[in-house]
Structure 1
Amino acid sequence: METARVAWAASPKGTPAMLMRDRLQDLFVDDDFVGWFPVDGRRGVSPARLALVSVLQYAENLTDRQAARAVACRIDWKYALGMELTEPGFDHSVLSEFRDRLTEGDRADRLLAVMVDRLAEAGLVRARGRQRTDSTHVLAAVRRLSRVELVAETMRAALEALAKLDEVWLAGVMPAEWAERYGRSARHERQPSGAAAVRQYVEQVGADGIALLQAVYGPTAPAGGPGVAAVEVLRQVLVQQYWYDESGQLRWREAKLSRARKSREGTARRRSSTTAADDAEPARVPWSSVEVVSPHDPQARFSHKPGKVEWVGYKDHQTETCDEGRPNVIVHVVTTPAPEQDVGVVDAIHTALVGQRMAPVEHLLDSGYVTPETVHRALIAYGITIVGPVRQDPRAVERPGFAKEDFHVDWQTETVTCPQGTVSPQWKPTVADGRPRLSVLFRRADCRACTVRQQCTGNVDGKGRHLLLLPEPLQEIQSRVRAQQQTPEWKRRYALRAGCEATVSETVHAHGLRHCRYRGLAKTHVQHVLIAAGTNIIRLAQHRPDPRRRPRSRLQQIFRMND
């Protein structure tokens, strides 16, 4: 083939695209995408070719126009795609249409699974090995809005959407002053100044929003009005940002408070002598898991890592292999709203890996993913051993002394013996954080007479020591892992997880993971999957099957000659 001869003459060492073609032949075939396209009509571009172009596009962090231009002009891409030198490319809009198809169902995950299967067939990935997972924050492709900007911009977005639906109807129900108030995007510098003026403005915006919703759900509204996405977002924002007082007056909700501030204000209210009405909790903005922060991406959420970073957007979880002698391949990707906790995705990751026959024997995770519950379920349900630190007893950290692990638990008699030999009464079942627990309360007289009571972590003057135990298998896991993670052997075994940080850095700096190109959870997930697949292409090109052929530095060469 002329393309192969010219490509290798131009690049004797090969490029990632060329090396991928030689090692895997056809990474994707059209049969992998059966059912994605209609069978009648004019023949379109091969879906296998579009998939490979999309992966190469994210491997080099290109735009759609740049990727389409590379297909038409670059010899190494033509070689990877199996194209003749004279074969033309396609319009860049085809790539956007292909990504829209990827957002449907689990198609994006299936595309990555097909790639992993091809790598497994080539012997580059093996099941029942070691894998590691880490997460990083991803910024949504929207501007950060204040609460005042949010309500005004949401109102403007709803009006723009309704104008496209039926501008004649909208002109008949919209007051003339709305055109001035919502004609331009809401920005801080365009808002009134002063607390009183701002409150009057936002209450006016809220009243306008209520009036618009009443018109949309009224008898004269167009049939599709209530189904407009921007209208539903307006309804949610009004519910979250406003409330009606007892007199029926629309009121602006108070800003949500941090936990520390809420604790301080709650203590102050309890100490005050105000009436019950004055002491009532004011209506506040909901927490970030449900709060809409931008009408242009209503699925994006606010989150923060204490003392590190705060952002509006999503979170990306990448799972990669880490077996010696093989390339580190990203085998699974999960995209979640920003506030969702890491521990909540562990079961979904294991289910997906088992489904594609890529479940590991050992899964290395950081403390955000690891609880006794996840360790137990992974082993029982999937046969996966989780290696990661279990959170230490927070009370032992705050007040050093006897921790829960220093007490002996007798599961047969349902009692606990303290380090001084005192036996507790039988424990009682209870519920903490929505999960079953065992409540152990020592007798007050026994603890009061104890000579080392001040060393007993969590002891409160005048009361006996109180412990909360997990159910037996979970408590045994917690105690065992807490002891193991202090040993040098466990730390050496866990050190392999640190490679996740390099993967996060690579995908962020080389492939643009940190910033969303698109809006919405589904399209953002497609971006994350294509970045993972593109990263695999680069790592495949960098992999040296024989470590003895690995390039040496000048210093290593000197020592080699001396040997």
Structure 2
Amino acid sequence: METARVAWAASPKGTPAMLMRDRLQDLFVDDDFSEWFPADGRRGVSPARLALVSVLQYAENLTDRQAARAVACRIDWKYALGMELTEPGFDHSVLSEFRDRLAEGDRADQLLAVMVDRLAEAGLVRARGRQRTDSTHVLAAVRRLGRVELVAETMRAALEALAKLDEVWLAGVMPTDWAGRYGRSARHERQPTGAAAAREYVEQVGADGIALLRAVYGATAPAAGPGVGAVEVLRQVWVQQYWYDEFGQLRWREAKVSRARKSREGTTRRRSGGTTVDDDAEPARVPWSRVEVVSPHDPQARFSHKPGKVEWVGYKDHQTETCDEERPNLIVHVVTTPAPEQDVDVVEAIHTALAERRITPAEHYLDSGYVTPETVHRASTAHAITVVGPVRQDPRAGDRPGFAKEDFHIDWQTETMTCPQGTVSPRWKPTMADGKPRLSVLFRRADCRACAARQQCTGNVDGKGRHLLLLPEPLQEIQTRARALQQTPEWKRRYALRAGCEATVSETVHAHGLRHCRYRGLAKTHVQHILTAAGTNIVRLTQHRPNQRRRPRSRLQQLFHTPTED
């Protein structure tokens, strides 16, 4: 083939695209995507070719236009795609249409699964090996709006969408003064200053939104009106930002307060008209970030923060990669979640997906955000996976004074605990904590009050007995054993393997632009993460040299390097 001769003559050492072609002859074939396209109609571009171009595009962090030009002009890409030198490319818009297909259902995951299957056939990925997972925050392709700006922009977006649907009907129901409030984007308008002016403004916007919703759901509205996405976002935002009081008056919700602040302040009470009212009884708080819409232009993006580290609006990406010796570290699974979702909530989904692909690891290295006794127990019993990661320490352990839970002796037969001073508790009682079953152990007040170590144990001065919560027996044993084991040097040396995840996050963020969303919405963001992972695999595959030791790079390293080390 002329393309191969010219490509290797131009690049004797090869490029990632060429080396990938030689190691994985047919990474994708059209049969892998046969269900994505209709069987009749005009013949289009090969889906296998589009899939490979999309992966190479993300491997080199190119735009659609740059990727389409590379297909037409670059010899190494033509070699990787199996094209003749004289064969033309295609229009760049085809790549966007292909990503739209990828965003449907679980097609993006299927693309990565096909790649992992080919890697497994080549012996580069194996089951019952070692894998590790880490997450990173991803910034949505929208900016965070203030609450005043949010409601105004949501109203304007709904009007824009309805104007495209039926501008004649909209003109008949829209008052003339709306043009001044919603004619331009909210960021171009001067926001009212002062608390009184701002409240008056948002109440007017709220009344306008209610009027629009009533018109959309009215008898004369277009049939498709309630199904417009921007209208549904308007309804959600109004539920979250406004409420009706007992007199039927639309009111602006108060800002949400943290649980810690709410606990400190307690329930405040005020008197109005001779009647005592609990302020916290009013349903006037903005909902928490798990459900709160922060922008009408990406209603699935959510606000989240890591205390003392970073705040962001967007999503979270979880990457699982192999970490076996003598094999390249390849990403085999990707999960995209809303930003506030906790890491621990995705562990079961990761293990289930790996089991379906028959590449479950024997050992899975995770950080403390993923690890609880429940996840360790579930991974072991359901998937035969050993989770290697730190369980959260008891708050009283370490340098903090006081007896930790591990200092007490548990008697599962008599359902009691014995404190370090030898006092036996009454039988524990089943209870619930955070929606999960627990065992409540409460020592007698008289026993603790007479104890010489009361201050060290309970930490209070009012004489209350020590209270502890136990997990169910198998989970409590896992927690106790893990807390003791993870303090040993042997466990720390073993767990050091997980640190490689940080390098993967850094590579995908800085070399492939993972941190910033190219698209809007959870589904298309997930497509970006899948293609980024696949592109990273291409680069790592071509960089891997089996049975080749790393040579010293600097002059100082060469000075210390001796031939006997080979």
Bin of the TM-score, shorter chain as denominator length? over 0.9
Whole-angstrom CA distance in 2 between matches of 1:111 and 1:553? 40
Partner of 1:371: 372
Q: Which amino acid aligns with 1:252?
A: W
Q: 1:427 to 1:112 in 2, by over 3 A?
A: same
Residue type matched to 1:542 in 2? Q
* 1:388 paired to 2:369: no
Partner-residue secondary structure (3-state), 2:529: helix
After superposition, residues 2-401 of structure 1 pair within 5 angstroms as: 2-187=2-187, 190-266=190-266, 276-277=276-277, 279-282=279-282, 283-396=284-397, 399-401=400-402
Which one-letter code corresponds to 2:346 in the other structure? V
Which whole-Å deviations, capped at 9, do the CAs of 1:316-374 have from their partners, x for residues lacking one? 00000011111000000000000000000000000000000111000010111000001
| Structure 1 counterpart of 2:496, one-letter code | A
8 Å contact from structure 2 (residues 55, 532) kept in 1: yes
Q: Please tell me the residue identity of whatever aligns with 1:28.
A: F
Structure 2 CA distance for partners of 1:261 and 1:451, relative to 1, 3 Å: closer
1: CA distance, partners of 2:530 / 2:450: 62
Residues 552 and 558 in structure 2, CA contact (< 8 A), matched pair in contact too: no
Residues in 2 aligned to 1:490 and 1:396: alpha-carbon distance in whole angstroms? 18
2:20 and 2:327 mapped to 1: Cα distance?
15
Instruction: Quote the offset at 1:281 in angstroms.
Output: 4.2
Q: Does 1:424 align with 2:428?
A: no
More deviation, 176-185/278-287: 278-287
Deviation at 1:541, TM superposition (A): 1.0
1:562 shift after superposition: 6.5
Paired amino acid for 2:355: V
Q: What is the one-letter code of the residue matched to 2:362?
A: V
| Contact 1:403–1:457 (8 Å) recurs in 2 | no
SS of residue matched to 1:44: coil
Cα shift at 1:259: 3.0
Distance 1:14 1:294, change over 3 A: same
> In the alignment, residue 88 of structure 1 is paired with which amino acid?
P
Task: Give secondary structure in 2 for the equivalent of 1:35.
Answer: helix
Q: Superposition pairs for residues 474-493 of structure 1, below 5 Å? A: 474-493=475-494
Counterpart-to-counterpart distance in 1, 2:439 and 2:519: 47
Structure 1 residue 453 corresponds to structure 2 residue 450:
no
Aligned amino acid, residue 24 of structure 2: L
Take 2:555 and 2:129, find their aligned partners in 1: how far apart are those partners?
35
Alpha-carbon displacement from aligned partner over 1:292-318 (angstroms, at most 9, x marks no partner):
110010000000000111111000000
CA 1:402/1:426 → structure 2, altered by over 3 Å: closer, same or farther? same
Confirm or deny: 8 A CA contact 1:149 1:188 kept in the other structure.
Answer: no
Residue 188 of structure 1: CA displacement? 7.2
Gaps of 5+ in 1: none
**CA deviations over 1:443-485 (Å, ceiling 9, x no partner):** 2222122122222155663111111100000000000000011
User: Is the 1:427–1:440 contact (alpha carbons within 8 Å) kept by the matching residues of 2?
Assistant: yes
* Structure 2: gaps spanning 5 or more residues: none
Q: CA deviation at 1:276?
A: 2.8
Offset of 1:531 from its aligned partner? 0.1
Deviation at 1:174, TM superposition (A): 0.4
Report how far residue 546 of structure 1 moved: 1.6
Identity of aligned residues (%): 88
- Please say if residues 378 and 385 of structure 1, whose CA atoms lie closer than 8 Å, have aligned partners that are also in contact: yes
Contact 2:267 2:278 in 1 (8 A): no
TM-score by length of 2: 0.96
Is the Cα–Cα contact under 8 Å of residues 364 and 386 in structure 1 kept in the other structure? yes
Cα distance in 1 for partners of 2:320, 2:186 equals 40
**What is the CA deviation profile of residues 127-169 of structure 1, one whole-angstrom value per residue up to 9, with x for unaligned ones?**
1111000000000001221000100000000000000110000
Distance 2:544 2:552 in 1: 12
Q: Which amino acid aligns with 1:118?
A: R
CA RMSD, aligned part only?
1.7
2-structure distance, mates of 1:228, 1:180: 24
Change (3 A) 1:227 1:125: same
CA distance in 1, matches of 2:495, 2:175: 65
Per the TM alignment, residue 535 of structure 1 is displaced from its structure 2 partner at its CA by: 0.3
The change in CA–CA distance for 1:127 and 1:299 in structure 2 (over 3 A counts) is: same
Contact 1:155–1:182 (CA under 8 A) maintained in structure 2: yes
Q: 1:498 maps to which residue?
A: 499
Measure the CA separation in 1 of the matches of 2:348 and 2:545.
34
Whether the 8 Å CA contact 2:116–2:332 is kept in 1: the answer is yes
Specify the SS of the correspondent of 2:277: coil
Equivalent AA in structure 2 for residue 315 of structure 1: K
Cα deviation, residue 205, structure 1: 0.4
Cα 1:398–1:220 change in 2 (3 A) is farther
Q: Deviations over 1:278-300 (max 9, x none)?
A: 64444110000110110010000
Partner of residue 464, structure 2? 463
After TM superposition, give the deviation of residue 209 of structure 1 in Å. Answer: 0.3
What secondary structure, in the 3-state scheme, does the structure 1 residue paired with 2:186 have? coil
1:538 paired residue number? 539
Q: Deviations over 1:498-546 (max 9, x none)?
A: 1111100000000000000000000000000000000000001111112
Q: Which amino acid aligns with 1:69?
A: R
How far the C-alpha of 1:12 sits from its partner, in A, is: 1.1
- Secondary structure at the aligned position of 2:303 is classed as strand
Question: What amino acid maps onto 2:391 in structure 1?
Answer: V
Asked if structure 1 preserves the Cα contact closer than 8 Å seen for 2:267 and 2:280, the reply is no
CA contact (8 A) 1:50 1:95 kept: yes
Does the 8 Å contact 2:255/2:286 carry over to 1?
A: yes
Q: Would you say 1:508 and 2:509 are equivalent positions?
A: yes
* Distance 1:216-1:295 versus aligned 2 partners, 3 A rule: same
CA contact (8 A) 1:135 1:317 kept: yes
Aligned 8 A contact 1:400 1:457 in 2: no
Q: Cα distance 1:210–1:276, how it changes in 2: closer, same or farther (>3 A)? A: same
Contact 2:336 2:525 in 1 (8 A): yes
Which amino acid in 2 is paired with 1:378?
A
> How many residues end up aligned between the 2 structures?
560
The secondary structure found in structure 2 opposite 1:190 is: coil
The separation in 1 between residues aligned to 2:552 and 2:111, in whole angstroms, is: 33
**CA distance in 1 between partners of 2:399 and 2:226 (Å):** 53
Stretch moving more, 241-250 or 353-362: 241-250
Residue by residue, what CA displacement relative to the aligned partner does 1:45-84 show, whole Å, maximum 9, x if unpaired?
A: 1100000000000001111000000000011100100111
| 1:393 Cα deviation after fit | 1.5
AA of the residue aligned to 1:442:
F
TM-score, length of structure 1 as denominator length? 0.97
The aligned amino acid for 1:215 is A
Distance 2:46 2:57 in 1: 16
